[in-house]
Copies of this chain bind each other. A is one copy, B any other.
Amino acid sequence: MSARRIVALSGGVGGAKLADGLMRVLPQDTLTVVVNTGDDFRHLGLHISPDIDTVLYTLCGLANPETGWGRRNETWQFMQALASLGGETWFRLGDADLAMHIERTRRLDSGQKLSSIVADCAHRLGIRAEVLPMTDAPVRTRVDTTEGRLDFQDYFVRRQCAPVVSGLRYDGAARAEPVHSAVAAIRSAAAILICPSNPYLSIAPMLAVPGLRQALRDAEAPVIAVSPLINGAAVKGPTAKIMAELGLPVCAPEIARHYGDLIDGFVLDERDAALADQIDIPVCLADTLMKDIDDRERVARASLAFAERLRAEMIA
C-alpha cells in the first residue's frame, strides 16, 4: 500500500487487534481508527470509554491479553479499598487504568472535547495512528431484553450478557454529529475496514450516527467488513448469542447481509469457505483468527490487499 489513508471502524477487543495489525503494517500516521462510544457511561462519577481504552491500550502495547479490557500488570488496591468502604465494585477499575478515567473526566468537565482528549492521550502513549471517538456527543446503547431495557454496561458487565436480547437502541445517535476528522478521513481514505467487532453492539452505534453512515455511503474507497464469526461462533463476546436471540441465522453471511449495501467486500474466515456462495458481494477468504501479533499483521495484510484489489476493480 502507498501512504494513503486507511480508516478502521472498531469496537473493543477484536477490532483493536485488527487496528493494531493495520498500524504495524501501514506507513506511519496513515491509519485512522474510529471507535464506538455507545458503551461509554458515567460510573463512580467517572466518564468511562471502554472501547476507546481497549483500542488505546492495544495500540500502545499496554492491553491486558487475559481480560480483553484494562491494562496488563494491573494492580487492584483501589478496588479493594473501595469494597471496604462499601462502594460499587461490579465494574472493575485497575489502579493504573484509573488515571485514564480520572484524567479524561477532568478534561471533559473542564470543557474539552472527547476527541481532543483521546487524540492527546494517543499521542502521549506513543501511538502512531489517529484514534477518534465516533462522536463527541453522548450516544448510549441500551439493550431491550426479556427482563426489560438495560443500560449497556448493566447488560454487558453486571449481568454478563445473560438476559435474552430482543432489541437494541442507540440513544442519542440520530442527533449526534460525527467527529469531523473521522468524516474527513473516510472521505480521503484508500480503504475503509469494518473491524471484526460485534456488529450489533459495537459497529451499529457508529452506523446509527447519520453523518458517519452517510460518509461511508459517499466514500470513494471500498468499504470492507471482516467477519467477527468463525464457524458460527465469535472469538470473544456475545455476537452469536445475540444473533440467535434476535432470531437471525448465526453465520458469517448474515453479518454481510446485515451490513448490506454499505460494504463492497467481505473478509470471510477460511473455515467458513463453504458459506462463501451465500454472500453476494466480493469475498476474500482468510485465516481471521488473531491469537498473536503475527496473526494481527496477517489479517491486516489480507484485508488491505483485498481492499486494494476491489479498489482497482472499482476504478477499472
Which A residues have a C-beta under 8 Å from some C-beta of B? 44-46, 71, 74-75, 77-82, 84-87, 94-100, 102-103, 105-106, 109, 120-121, 124-125
Given contacts A44-B106, A106-B44, contact A87 B99 (CB under 8 A): yes
> So how many copies of this chain end up in the complex?
2
Q: Which residue of B lies closest to A60 (CB)?
A: B84
Contact indicator A125/B84 (Cβ below 8 Å): yes
User: Which residue from B85, B86, B99, B109 sits with its C-beta under 8 Å from A78?
Assistant: B99
Determine how close the nearest CB of chain B comes to the CB of A121; give it in whole angstroms: 6
Knowing that A74-B77, A82-B102, A87-B102 touch, tell me 8 more A-B residue pairs with CB under 8 angstroms: A45-B106, A77-B95, A78-B96, A81-B95, A84-B124, A85-B100, A87-B103, A95-B95
Bound Cα distance A237, B80 (Å): 31
Determine how close the nearest CB of chain B comes to the CB of A111; give it in whole angstroms: 13
Determine how close the nearest CB of chain B comes to the CB of A153; give it in whole angstroms: 16
A109 CB contacts on chain B under 8 angstroms: 45
Contact indicator B45/A85 (Cβ below 8 Å): no
Contact indicator A44/B81 (Cβ below 8 Å): no
Q: Which residue of B lies closest to A110 (CB)?
A: B45
Contact indicator A82/B95 (Cβ below 8 Å): no
Given contacts A45-B109, A81-B97, contact A120 B86 (CB under 8 A): yes
Bound Cα distance A106, B102 (Å): 13
User: Which residue from B45, B71, B75 sits with its C-beta under 8 Å from A105?
Assistant: B45
Contact indicator A103/B82 (Cβ below 8 Å): yes
A124 CB contacts on chain B under 8 angstroms: 84-86
Determine how close the nearest CB of chain B comes to the CB of A119; give it in whole angstroms: 12
18 inter-chain pairs at a CB distance below 8 angstroms, sorted by A residue, are A44-B103, A44-B106, A45-B45, A75-B77, A75-B95, A77-B77, A78-B78, A78-B96, A80-B99, A81-B95, A84-B125, A85-B103, A85-B124, A86-B120, A86-B124, A95-B95, A95-B98, A98-B98
